[in-house]
Amino acid sequence: MEIKVAAGDITQVEVDAVIVNVFQGEEIPGGDTAALDKALEGTISLLIKQGEIKGKLNEVTVIHSLGKLRAGRVAVVGLGKPEKLTLSKVRGAVAEACRLLQKKGVKSVATVAQGEGVSGISVEGSAQVIAEGALLGVYSFLRYRTGEAEHGEIEQITIITPDESKVPFLQQGSQKGQIMAGATNLARDMVNEPANYMTPSDMAKKAEELAVTYGLELTVLEREQMQELGMGALLGVAQGSQQPPRFIILRYQGASHKKIDIALVGKGITFDSGGISIKPSEGMGEMKTDMAGGAAVMAAMGAIAQLKPGINVMALIPATENLPSGTALKPADVLTAMSGKTIEIISTDAEGRLILADALGYANTQKVRLIVDVATLTGACRIALGDICTGAFGNNQKLVDKVIAAGNEAGELIWQMPLYDEYKELNKSDVADIKNTGGRWGGAITAAQFLAEFAGDTPWVHLDIAGTSMSDKERDYLVKGATGVPVRTLVNLVLTLAKK
């Protein structure tokens, strides 16, 4: 899909469909909608009067212009109450409209800077979320379908302004939105891939593509190097699989100093069967998505390299399968992590925290200033927050607050969970320094508390995306399948940190 910006008159464009807005409680449409209403001889205001158009958020009404306009259709999209408008609502509404129009076979679309000037929404901001909404909302994963697609794709969207001076601002916003959405859709693609096409080596190959395309520095550690570094926890998980593990390191150097300002760590379990503590077979296939944290971190690095903030970022992705076999890790085994801490294995299905322990250990040898890790870590977090909010845990409230703010801007909701010391007791082992599960109750918290031991004194935030990495339906900018959460949160965070 191509997203363009142009100065012009929205009532004069020749496209398959034009998208404009109405607000809830508005009896007569204003602005661009009014101009189109006039050209349509009052159809929009009539539909408002008759109660068909209510202006409720995400309501889409498609009106055929029947020759009254050069555009074939006008899609009138509700944005809810004007005083409650946010950029996230515009992003979602654009996604809903584009999805509907695409299903109707529409190929070319024109729209305006939706919401601009309402509730403090800027021209750039509007253009960014329009680009994001359009690209994220019509995403599909069809790589393994050999038949004909059910419908075509929207090929072009033009954001039109009557004011020539706004064009550069629209351009800037649309450019950023395209980078953000492109990265999110890359993460979605990786997560939607079946595990036989997204092995640890395949992830490393993707990392190489990113490095070559965007000029990132790449190092991939193989088993032998992991052994030299003493990554016993990661190797313990990997020992049950025929697929060799990979430890992927991507570096973005945007500042002249040597220090790494932030490390982004992502769980890269390319298939989680549970290992010897095997999962029930029903629904096990979903565990091909257990590398969603790693995918998000990698995709965010691609966007960061394009946006070029003045900051140094390192991405660390420990990648392996978790499978049962004659060589697999067993309950009651003891592993020694890179940090030197010993871990008693209670469940081989609590593998995410093991591979992250070594990635956090590695980050701490690199003397990074901050760490954010992203992981599909616990079913407990999904039970607690559903697929609406990502759970956040951290040892530094300032950093937690920044991550949550970055998420709000992205429309990726995050809710902070507690990390009280009292929970640490639950991870105490009789035979080793720590055990890898703290029992059923508070499972998301004890998992985070386990990671905290390996983050040490470095300011750190852990994002548990077990609930938010997948969506079972279309909702706002989300489609069914992988969500690409929290790629845009990570990019926003890095951009914010770079400004300081």
Q: Which residue's CB is nearer to ligand BES, number 48 or number 414? A: 414
Helix ranges restricted to H, 308-436 = 352-365, 379-385, 397-410
Q: Which of 290, 358, 412, 464 binds Zn ion (CB under 5 A)?
A: 290
Residue 437 interacts with which of Mn ion, Zn ion, ligand BES, none, CB < 5 to 8 Å by class: ligand BES
Residue 380 interacts with which of ligand BES, Mn ion, Zn ion, none, CB < 5 to 8 Å by class: ligand BES
Applying the rule CB under 6 A, the residues between 336 and 355 that interact with ligand BES are 347, 349-352
With residue 471 as reference, give the H or E element that holds it: strand 470-471
**Known catalytic residues?**
279, 353
Q: Which residue is nearest to Mn ion (CB)?
A: 349
- Among the listed ranges 118-126, 242-250, 268-276, 442-450, the one in contact with Mn ion (CB under 5 A) is 268-276
CB of 362: closest distance to ligand BES in angstroms? 20
Applying the rule CB under 5 A, the residues between 361 and 390 that interact with Mn ion are none
Contact predicate 295/191, CB 8 Å? yes
Q: Which residue's CB is nearer to ligand BES, number 147 or number 280? A: 280
Q: How far is CA 485 from each of CA 199, 286, 383, 491, rounded to the nearest angstrom?
A: 20, 16, 18, 11
Q: Which residue's CB is nearer to ligand BES, number 378 or number 492? A: 378
Q: How far is CA 312 from each of CA 285, 294, 364, rounded to the nearest angstrom?
A: 37, 19, 15
With residue 39 as reference, give the H or E element that holds it: helix 31-39
Joined together, the tokens standing for residue 460 give 């750190």
Alpha carbons within 13 angstroms on the beta-carbon side of residue 331 total: 9
Q: How far is CA 145 from the centre of its chain?
A: 24
- Among the listed ranges 35-43, 76-84, 349-357, 392-400, the one in contact with Zn ion (CB under 5 A) is 349-357
Contact map string, positions 367 to 386, toward ligand BES, x by CB under 6 A: ---------xxxxx-x----
Cα dihedral: 274, 278, 283, 289 (round 10): 10
Contacts of 251 (CB under 8 A, 6+ apart): 216, 217, 218, 219, 260, 312, 313, 314, 315
Q: Which residue's CB is nearer to Zn ion, number 175 or number 378? A: 378
User: Applying CB under 6 A, does 482 fall inside the site for ligand BES?
Assistant: no
Cα(486)–Cα(456) distance, integer angstroms: 24
Cα(221)–Cα(209) distance, integer angstroms: 17
Q: Which residue's CB is nearer to ligand BES, number 21 or number 483? A: 483
Q: Which of 37, 96, 124, 272 binds Mn ion (CB under 5 A)?
A: 272
Contacts of 34 (CB under 8 A, 6+ apart): 28
Q: Which residue's CB is nearer to Mn ion, number 59 or number 351? A: 351
Q: Which of 245, 274, 352, 361 binds Zn ion (CB under 5 A)?
A: 352
Given the rule CB under 6 A, which residues bind ligand BES?
A: 272, 290, 347, 349-352, 376-380, 382, 437, 443, 466
Given the rule CB under 5 A, which residues bind Mn ion?
A: 272, 349, 351
